[in-house]
Structure 1
């Protein structure tokens, strides 16, 4: 079970790292041209960057506390926060009719829920 939780947390951390780097360092105008990132056209650059930083923090919080053995309770707390982020992503993509991306967000939400329950 521990190995499965590590794999799940590592997968989510990779997703969060990728999304965080993209939102933090790619300009809004260019980001809005990417498939799945059309939603950025309706948001301010600072809001997008804030989401990116939150995703970078999630990438760290999903793996590092357990790996270092310091404050391991932060892993399920981070996973619970990731669930909230995915609910927001599902709403945003749903409003744009991007139902395949909503399904991807549901998968990420389910993985995060399993990490949260397994690590609590």
Structure 2
């Protein structure tokens, strides 16, 4: 199970790192024209950068504390943060009546919850 949790955390971290870097490095006008990013119209450029920064920090929090053995309790806390980010994303997509992204958000929430459960519970990092 430990290998599964590491794998899930690695995949989730890679996805959030890529998404966060994209939001931090691209202007709002370019993000809005990117496929599946029309929702960015609803947010200010500053908020998009904030979301991107939160995603990059979540990616780092899913991997670095455990890999460096420095405050490993941050791993499940980062997973909870990812789940909360995805709840917000799902609410945004639902408000815009975008069904497919809501399903993707639900899957990402489930993955984050599994990581949080495993790392808070039976497969804690010491």
Alignment TM-score, normalising by the size of structure 1: 0.97
Cα distance in structure 2, aligned partners of 1:73 and 1:111: 18
Any idea what SS the aligned residue of 2:23 has? Answer: helix
Q: Which residue of 1 aligns with 2:44?
A: 44
Of stretches 69-78 and 34-43 in structure 1, the one that deviates more from structure 2 is: 34-43
Any idea what SS the aligned residue of 1:71 has? Answer: coil
Gaps of 5+ in 1: none
Deviation by residue 1:1-41 (Cα, 9 ceiling, x = unmatched): 10000001001101110110111011100100112211111
Cα distance in structure 2, aligned partners of 1:97 and 1:36: 13
Could you list the runs of 4 or more consecutive aligned residues of structure 1 that deviate by over 2 angstroms after TM superposition? none
Deviation by residue 1:33-91 (Cα, 9 ceiling, x = unmatched): 11221111121100000100110001100001011111110000000011110000001
Structure 1 segment 4-83 matched on structure 2, within 5 A: 4-83=4-83
Any idea what SS the aligned residue of 1:72 has? Answer: coil
Q: Which residue of 1 aligns with 2:118?
A: 118
Alignment TM-score, normalising by the size of structure 2: 0.93
